[in-house]
Amino acid sequence: MSDQVFPRGVFCAALTPLDSDLNPNYSAFTAHCRYLIDEGCTGVALLGTTGEANSFSSDERMRLLEAALAGGVAPAQLMPGTGVAALPETVALTRHALSVGVTTIVLLPPFYYKGVSEDGLVAAYARIIEGVGDDRLRVVLYHIPQMSGVGIPHGVIAALRERFPGIVTGIKDSSGDLAHMTALVERFPGFSVLAGADPLMLPLLKVGGAGAITATTNLCARDLRFVFDHHADPAKAAEVAAAQARVVATRERASRFAQMASLKALTAARTGDADWHRLRPPLMALTEAERSALLGSSEGLARAS
């Protein structure tokens, strides 16, 4: 795949820390973004599923983006999710991102109504892009049908690429279906196909994928970046295989219980900050029994740290 494909790299679907009132902890969030960049992430995909975005207001979402920027993360390193059910609100969130210099956004389809037509999805995306009205905009579509209930078919992608060339540049495919991702790469040359599941980044890269936006990157960014950087180097094959094995093991560990709660528990273990355990309802923190099983002995806790 050409290096001109954008976005390309390892992007973290960042967690969002909460304070004791279950409001976003902006300073902790900023510190986490800087940590992820220091660990090798190409960028931070904030305010996605892992970031609990749909539990936050528009004001909170805007403030989180502004906090990351104020904390020294470059606009080009940020990729916020701006898609909500209401089109005017999606337009407002996307315009806000552009107003602070962030041009690449991840865009869910409108997700409340199910069984909508491809024409309806194209019309919704077109209304958003035209409503924003800024040629700087770069849209990464967000395909996560198991959560949104609304997939993004090939026909929708083809229509949007034809109508908005240079704006609709990629897709985050969180279906977990490598065959689907491979089909996207094959049908849409020059389109950035990003895996939404950590273990699938390596096989996707091998068929021309552009990288990944994943949850477990919160825990294993260095390994994912090593895999990305060296996957095509035969001299590094053994090291890539070892890094990939660690990625898979980390993903499996974080998926033993509720994934977002587990990622937060493991982040709390790494940072020593128990505030990381909190989630905003309806999502809930792990129980004490689950947390103990996840972290294991004191030796296991040390490894998590």
Residues designated catalytic: 49, 112, 142, 172
User: What angle is formed at CA 161 by the lines to CA 192 and CA 85, rounded to 5 degrees?
Assistant: 85
**Owner of token pair 């976003």:** 24
Which structure tokens are listed for 244?
């990939």
Which three-class secondary structure state does DSSP give residue 14? Answer: coil
Nearest CA-CA partner of 178 in 197, 162, 191: 197
Other CB atoms within 10 Å distance of the CB of residue 128: 23
Q: Write phi, then psi, for 26 (nearest 5 degrees).
A: -65, -40
Nearest CA-CA partner of 212 in 174, 182, 184, 175: 174
The whole-angstrom separation of Cα 253 and Cα 256 is 6
The whole-angstrom separation of Cα 147 and Cα 169 is 22
Nearest CA-CA partner of 23 in 46, 48, 57, 50: 57
Contact of 69 with 100, CB cutoff 8 Å: yes
Say which DSSP state 138 is in: E
Contact of 195 with 177, CB cutoff 8 Å: no
Angle between helices 118-132 and 87-99 (to 10 degrees): 40
Element (H, E) at 195: strand 192-195
